[in-house]
Amino acid sequence: MSTFVARPDSVFMFSPKHLTESSPDYRGDVTLSEEIVASIIKKHDAKEPVKLQISLWKKAGANGMFLSGTVREHNWLPKPVERVKERVVDDDEIPF
């Protein structure tokens, strides 16, 4: 049995053995953070639809191809990146 613990808001999908023609091509788990679960509960209580965004990447591992990904709230936007203030360097400060 694997002791792998997924990061919060992550998805891992592996190709299972096909037992029948209708067996899925990939099967896996989604691990949700407390933040997303709380948001889902809040939307459910307000009778709002709950929609999540899933992003997947194909990867190759020791046991073959698999998909890994992330789960976020729908319409999620990344936090803006803080720009680093540029330091003005006077030519007189350069030693050569």
CA–CA separation, 86 vs 74, rounded Å? 35
The strand pair at 52-61 and 64-73 is best described as: antiparallel
Cα-based distances in Å from 81 to 8, 36, 71, 77, 87: 22, 22, 21, 12, 18
**The whole model's pTM is what?**
0.57
Amino acid 86 reads E
Condensed to tens digits (0 to 9), the pLDDT of residues 14-71 reads: 877 878 888 888 888 888 889 899 999 999 999 999 888 888 888 888 878 888 888 8
